[in-house]
Amino acid sequence: MKYHKLYSPDLASRATYNYLLHGKTLGCERKKTDFCTIAILMHMKRILLVLTVFLLSTSILPAQKITIAAAADLRFVLDEVSNEFQKSNPGIKVDIIYGSSGNLYQQIVNQAPFNIFFSADISFPKKLDSMNLAGSKPKLYAIGHLVLWSSTLDVSKGIEILNNPDIKKISIANPRVAPYGKRAVECLKYYSLYDKIKDKIVEGENVSQAAQFVLTGNAELGLIALSLALSPEMSSKGKYFILDGKSHSKLEQAYVIIKNSETDKDVLNFVQFIESEKVRVLFGKYGFKLPVEDK
């Protein structure tokens, strides 16, 4: 007595081919028709399963990622730059960690996994370069400005407002790790005001936090970055006064590619984008003075 196998891969393959080619189960005897139909369906399910797994695997491939350490004064402008970059490079994800330049520098020294470092003070990228931790030479991208800002006081007369005895709290960034805080102290000392008002000073960990203190009323006045004063969050809620640049050392802001990222094509694409005219316009929008391009 002969027994027919209900399913065999070879039978299923031949039957499926004939079915797809001729629209019927050629090669199957009448008695085997039901078995062939079952075999065809099972084989087609296997094919569909393989195709589904393949399509899913290609559609969920992780996006390439660039991780950036950036000075807190860049919070608004660099968010805009990142959004513009990702529009034209949808397969690249850009993660930006904001903080004080000094703290970010220390994290990089301790091998934090950053690809690019945007500092508010060129001295930190230069230190990384001298320690052989940079994959490129420091590149100046902007000159920052220190301003007085208040939502309640008239700052139009400038630094003299700090002589007002009614002012109880003055916000600055931590001068030990934040370039804008260091310049704020230099400015106050230049005008012989630091010793008079040092007990009124409240420090933010970075210039963005210092701006938040004065924005939320935890300080009546702040010495912060112009880029933050011009941000959507602050521009309509207070007034600013640009402090004379001669009162403090220049805020030369520079970036550097971190060692071992200098050959990453996505990192190089982002750096090239930073040099574009579109990005220069965005930096100008937030009050930065732009470096003169090499001719």
* Within a domain: 4: no
Q: What is the pLDDT of residue 20?
A: 45
Share of the chain above pLDDT 70, in %: 78
Q: What is the CATH number of the domain that holds 172?
A: 3.40.190.10
Q: What is the pLDDT of residue 42?
A: 59
Q: Are residues 111 and 185 in the same domain?
A: no
Which of 53-67, 129-143, 228-242 has the weakest average pLDDT? 53-67
- pLDDT exceeds 80 at position 86: yes
Q: What is the pLDDT of residue 41?
A: 53
Q: Are residues 163 and 223 in the same domain?
A: yes
* Within a domain: 177: yes
Q: What is the pLDDT of residue 46?
A: 64
Q: What is the pLDDT of residue 76?
A: 98
Q: Give the residue, 35 or 224, on which the prediction is more confident.
A: 224
Q: Are residues 226 and 166 in the same domain?
A: yes
Share of the chain above pLDDT 90, in %: 76
* Within a domain: 290: no
Which of 42-56, 109-123, 188-202 has the weakest average pLDDT? 42-56
Mean pLDDT of the chain: 86
Q: Are residues 124 and 263 in the same domain?
A: yes
Q: Are residues 97 and 215 in the same domain?
A: no
Which tens digit of pLDDT belongs to each residue from 21-41?
455 544 444 445 554 555 555
* Within a domain: 237: yes
Q: Are residues 260 and 138 in the same domain?
A: yes
Which of 49-53, 73-77, 144-148, 241-245 has the weakest average pLDDT? 49-53
Which tens digit of pLDDT belongs to each residue from 94-115?
999 999 999 999 999 999 999 9
Q: Are residues 92 and 176 in the same domain?
A: no
- pLDDT exceeds 90 at position 60: no
Q: What is the pLDDT of residue 53?
A: 43
* Within a domain: 265: yes
Which tens digit of pLDDT belongs to each residue from 251-262?
999 999 999 999
Structure token pair of residue 92:
């690249």
* Within a domain: 291: no
Q: Tell me how many domains the chain contains.
A: 3
Q: Give the residue, 295 or 177, on which the prediction is more confident.
A: 177
* Within a domain: 292: no
Domain coverage including residue 76: 64-143+252-285
How confident is the model over 164-176, as a mean pLDDT? 97
Q: Are residues 204 and 112 in the same domain?
A: no
Which tens digit of pLDDT belongs to each residue from 50-59?
455 444 443 4
Taking the C-alpha atoms of residue 249 and residue 186, their distance in angstroms, rounded to an integer, is 8
With cut-offs at 50, 70 and 90, classify the pLDDT of residue 291: confident
Q: Are residues 149 and 136 in the same domain?
A: no
Q: What is the pLDDT of residue 292?
A: 74
Q: Are residues 44 and 74 in the same domain?
A: no
Q: What is the pLDDT of residue 212?
A: 98
With cut-offs at 50, 70 and 90, classify the pLDDT of residue 2: very low
Q: Are residues 95 and 134 in the same domain?
A: yes
Taking the C-alpha atoms of residue 92 and residue 191, their distance in angstroms, rounded to an integer, is 47
* Within a domain: 228: yes
